[in-house]
């Protein structure tokens, strides 16, 4: 048997850090990453044959669990028909129709291959459609690794951001303003200073890249009003929340709270591909008309609308729109976070939890945080002990305290009870 440690050593010789996406390397939590050999339903097995209850779900896409029969069948059939044609197919039209039928704010959608690509193009589209350059994003929200979005806050609201990655020239982020999430004063001030130059405001409506922080309803309402007053576009990055927190995505929840609410541009990924490389961005027909080949905003992709990825996404969406799917998933996810909370309370560990649909977060602090600064005050050592304690007991959580968790329809009550029992054991040692 090859061990995880042996594989990690071999991987580090040929792949930087041994991984193809940084957070997989366990840098924050320490220890050896698990090399996964297969997955089924809510479980994954590593190279050593150890089974884990999987609460990462490939970072969100696996809402049905691994290897759902309907999805597997659709992918196998599609593979027999051909891997990639570089020409239009009926299936991509079907997937576009399926997505649009669930998201009334979008009249048209374009399929791409990653969330990064979708968010990057959404920004280009917003700039092209408005003829403006500047954009607002929020600290703690991640929209992929396009240059203009790898930014941290500058020294004040009058100045724009600083790159968070080497290799991003300051000039490339000079139009990106980074504000604190849920901070109304900063928002007002930014529009007062820069309103006429703003192309868009981009937000994760429930920020899963700082674990799980909701944009408060008055905050979202005010962004919508300010965008309308100043002619800027409001971009909802639903790569994580899309078809995950509700069938109509996070925007349907805000539309319930704010009558008539809709974002101008929406970005999707993860669930719409069911685990295959697929993402999308959509908007009104008028705004999407700016895209090539109709308009002057260029965007393209050799593998965009890939026939196997679209088969996988379509089969996934058809399952999650079955009546009662989200109600059952929400109950299951709630059961998990309530159980974790009760286990923490029993040991006197400060703990707060939140969930929506099949997405959840927990914090080692008594109150739910409202912004990135507060999230990052989490006791890293305590999180790491919890993470490794659960991993040792066969429960796989995200290996970083600023990442959300995901429950799938395949998780059983017994899986959730076993998870809570493992957490109780770990908390007892705190």
Residue ranges binding ligand PMP (CB under 6 A) = 59, 114-116, 119, 142-144, 204, 208-209, 237, 239-240, 269, 279
- Cβ proximity to ligand PMP: between 141 and 157 the closer is 141
Active site residue 270: yes
- Cβ proximity to ligand PMP: between 173 and 240 the closer is 240
Give the separation between CA 189 and CA 402, rounded to whole angstroms: 28
Give the separation between CA 55 and CA 128, rounded to whole angstroms: 39
By CB atoms closer than 10 A (0-12, 13-18, 19+), residue 143 is buried
Contact between 235 and 201 under an 8 Å Cβ cutoff? The reply is yes
- Cβ proximity to ligand PMP: between 50 and 58 the closer is 58
Phi/psi zone of residue 108: left (φ > 0), alpha (ψ -120 to 50 degrees), beta? beta
- Cβ proximity to ligand PMP: between 59 and 406 the closer is 59
State in angstroms the smallest separation of the CB of 150 from ligand PMP.
12
Contact between 243 and 214 under an 8 Å Cβ cutoff? The reply is no
Catalytic residue among 54, 237, 354, 415: 237
Catalytic residue among 270, 332, 396, 402: 270
- Cβ proximity to ligand PMP: between 138 and 142 the closer is 142
State in angstroms the smallest separation of the CB of 418 from ligand PMP.
27
State in angstroms the smallest separation of the CB of 142 from ligand PMP.
5
State in angstroms the smallest separation of the CB of 170 from ligand PMP.
23
State in angstroms the smallest separation of the CB of 408 from ligand PMP.
17
Q: Would you call the peptide bond into 344 cis, given omega within 30 degrees of 0 as the criterion?
A: no
Q: Name the nearest CA neighbour of 40 among 32, 30, 51.
A: 51
* Residue with the CB atom nearest ligand PMP in the bound state: 115
Catalytic residue among 52, 142, 396, 402: 142
Which residue matches tokens 């390397």?
A: 25
By CB atoms closer than 10 A (0-12, 13-18, 19+), residue 301 is middle
Which residues form the catalytic set? 142, 237, 270
């Amino acid at each position: 048997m090859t061990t995880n440690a042996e594989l990690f050593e071999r991987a580090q010789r040929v792949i930087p850090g041994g991984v193809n996406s940084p957070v997989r390397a366990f840098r924050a939590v320490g220890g050896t990453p698990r090399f996964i050999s297969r997955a089924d339903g809510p479980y994954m097995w590593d190279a050593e044959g150890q089974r884990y209850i999987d609460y990462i779900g490939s970072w969100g896409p696996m809402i049905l669990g691994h290897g759902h029969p309907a999805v597997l069948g659709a992918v196998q059939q599609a593979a027999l028909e051909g891997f990639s044609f570089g020409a239009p197919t009926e299936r991509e039209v079907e997937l576009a129709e399926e997505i649009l039928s669930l998201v009334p704010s979008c009249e048209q959608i374009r399929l791409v291959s990653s969330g990064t690509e979708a968010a990057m193009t959404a920004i280009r589209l917003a700039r092209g459609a408005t003829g403006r350059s500047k954009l607002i994003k929020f600290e703690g929200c991640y929209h992929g690794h396009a240059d203009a979005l790898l930014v941290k806050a500058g020294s004040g609201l009058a100045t724009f951001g600083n790159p968070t990655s080497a290799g991003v020239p300051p000039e490339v982020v000079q139009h990106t303003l980074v504000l604190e999430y849920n901070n109304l004063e900063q928002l007002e001030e930014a529009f007062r200073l820069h309103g006429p130059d703003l192309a868009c405001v981009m937000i994760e409506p429930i920020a899963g890249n700082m674990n799980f922080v909701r944009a408060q309803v008055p905050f979202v309402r005010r962004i919508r009003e300010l965008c309308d007053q100043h002619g800027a576009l409001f971009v909802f990055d639903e790569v994580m929340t899309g078809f995950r927190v509700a069938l109509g995505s996070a925007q349907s929840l805000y539309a319930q709270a704010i009558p008539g609410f809709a974002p101008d541009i929406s970005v999707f990924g993860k669930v719409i591909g069911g685990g295959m490389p697929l993402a999308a961005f959509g908007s009104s027909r008028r705004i999407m008309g700016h895209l090539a080949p109709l308009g002057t905003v260029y965007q393209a992709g050799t593998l965009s609308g890939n026939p196997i990825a679209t088969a996988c996404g379509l089969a996934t969406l058809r399952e999650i729109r079955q009546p009662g799917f989200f109600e059952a998933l929400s109950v299951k996810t709630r059961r998990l976070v309530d159980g974790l909370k009760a286990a923490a309370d029993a040991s006197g560990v400060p703990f707060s939890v939140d969930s929506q649909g099949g997405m959840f977060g927990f914090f080692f602090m008594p109150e739910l945080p409202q912004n990135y600064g507060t999230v990052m005050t989490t006791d890293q050592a305590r999180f790491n002990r919890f993470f490794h304690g659960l991993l040792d007991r066969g429960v796989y959580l995200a290996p970083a305290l600023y990442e959300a968790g995901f429950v799938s329809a395949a998780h059983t009550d017994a899986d959730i009870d076993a998870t809570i029992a493992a957490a109780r054991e770990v908390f007892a040692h705190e």
